Amino acid sequence: MDGNGRWATQRGLPRGAGHRMGVEAIRRTAEAAPDLGIGTLTLFAFASDNWKRPETEVVGLMRLLKAYLRSETGRLARTGTRLTVFGRRDRLPAGIPEAIERAEAATAAGTKLSLRIAVDYSSRDAILAAAAGLGPEASREDLDRALRDDVGGPGDVDLLIRTGGEKRLSDFLLWEAAYAELHFTDRMWPDFGEADLAAAVADFARRDRRFGGLKPVPVAA
Ligand code: FPP
Known catalytic residue: 2? yes
Q: Which residues lie with the beta carbon below 6 Å from any ligand 1 atom?
A: 1-6, 19, 22-23, 26, 45, 50, 61, 64-65, 68, 117, 164, 189
Q: pLDDT tens digit string along 29-77?
A: 999 999 999 999 999 999 999 999 999 999 999 999 999 999 999 999 9
- Provide the CB-side half-sphere exposure for 89 (13 A, CA): 15
The yes-or-no verdict on residue 205 having pLDDT over 60 is yes
Nearest to 44 by CA among 173, 180, 158, 141: 173
Which atom, in ligand 1's list, is nearest to the CA of 68? 16
**How far, in Å, CA of 187 to CA of 196, rounded?**
8
Instruction: Give 48's DSSP letter.
Output: G
Alpha carbon of 32 to ligand 1 centroid (Å) = 20
Q: Which residues pair with 44 in a beta bridge?
A: 118
Q: Which residues pair with 85 in a beta bridge?
A: 117
Instruction: Give 182's DSSP letter.
Output: E
**How far, in Å, CA of 127 to CA of 91, rounded?**
18
Selected from 3.40.1180.10, 3.40.50.880, 3.40.50.300, 3.30.365.10, the CATH number assigned to the domain covering 4-205 reads: 3.40.1180.10
**How far, in Å, CA of 152 to CA of 219, rounded?**
25
Mean pLDDT of the chain: 95
